Structure formats: C-alpha cells, structure tokens
Amino acid sequence: MQEKTNVMRILDSQKINYKPYYYNSNDAIAGQDVASLLGENPSQVFKTLVTRAHSKLYYVFVIPVSKELDLKKAAKSVGEKSIEMIKQKELLPLTGYIHGGCSPIGMKKFFKTVVDITSKDFETIYISAGKVGYQIEISVEDLAKVIRLQFDDLVK
C-alpha cells in the first residue's frame, strides 16, 4: 500500500469518493506518459497549470494532458486582459507542489480554478494526487465539492 498524500487526506476527511493510482517515476514526466502508464484515455487525464495574470492575480487551469492551454481563452474565462504561465521555480513556494505533482486540491492558498469543459464528457477524470507518481480518479461533481471551480473552453 502506498502512502496517502495530502490530497487523499483532504478527500478522506470530507468523505469524498476517489480512486488512487500509482505509477513508477522518479521524475516529473509528461502528462501523456502518465496517461499511458495508467492505461487511460489522455483526454480523461488532466494536468493542473498555474498562471499569473496581468493584474498579478494567480489562476489555476485544469486541462487534458493531451492539450495545450489557450492563454487568450483562459484570460477571458477569468476576466483578465492577459495571463502567462508561472515559472517552474515559483510553483513550490506558491502552491506547495512540485512540477509533475501539482493538484488543484490542497494548494497553500486557494486560487480561482477553471476546469476545461471537456471534463464533463467523462464520468470521472484523473488528476494529480499532489505527488509525482500519484494520481486520483474523481468525478467532476465530487471535485467541485472540495474546491470552488468553474468550467470553460480552455484549450487550443
């Protein structure tokens, strides 16, 4: 049995259903590779991206690993003029997570979170459990019980 991550403890404490998955990796690997290791459809495996807007506010976007974030669509979805990806070195101090293990659940501070609309096409989606090599499968409805989120078309 693998150890529980903070994400799993948060979900357990709120009695929210999820299914943990583990894969062997010592390094952060591309989301497409995670989908392959899990044997899942890359459109159903989601990555968590953290951005900074022109206004200096931070936003979190959760999109399929097989897609690229459309910065214009993302900015529009949160009512900003423009946004950009944060630098990798900013991720840990800002969120408490490292690259490859960033989850929308359990960040140090809550940031407005937008999930790509395609997530609604699936009964469940896969997201990081907050550590490289750890994923959880969760319904979007259950995810919305843990974090405030909205849906929008975010990808190119």
Could you give the CA distance from residue 66 to residue 103 in angstroms, rounded to a whole number? 17
pLDDT tens digits, 50-66: 999 999 999 999 999 99
Q: 82 pLDDT exceeds 60?
A: yes
All domains in the chain, ordered by first residue: 6-152 (3.90.960.10)
Q: Which residue from 155, 124, 132, 152 is spatially nearest to 22, judged by alpha carbons?
A: 132
What's the pLDDT band for 28 if we cut at 50, 70, 90? Answer: low
According to the model, what pLDDT value does residue 26 have? Answer: 62
pLDDT of 102: 94
The whole-chain average pLDDT of the chain stands at 92
pLDDT tens digit string along 102-141?
A: 999 999 999 999 999 999 999 999 999 999 889 999 999 9
Q: CA quadruple 25, 47, 35, 20: dihedral positive or negative?
A: positive
Average pLDDT over residues 38-57: 93
This prediction's pTM: 0.93
Burial call 83-104: b when 16+ CB within 10 Å, e when fewer: beebeeeebeebbbbeebbbbb
> Is the model's pLDDT at 37 over the cut of 90?
no
User: Predicted confidence band at 142 (pLDDT cuts at 50, 70, 90)?
Assistant: very high
pLDDT band at 17 (very low <50, low <70, confident <90, very high): very high
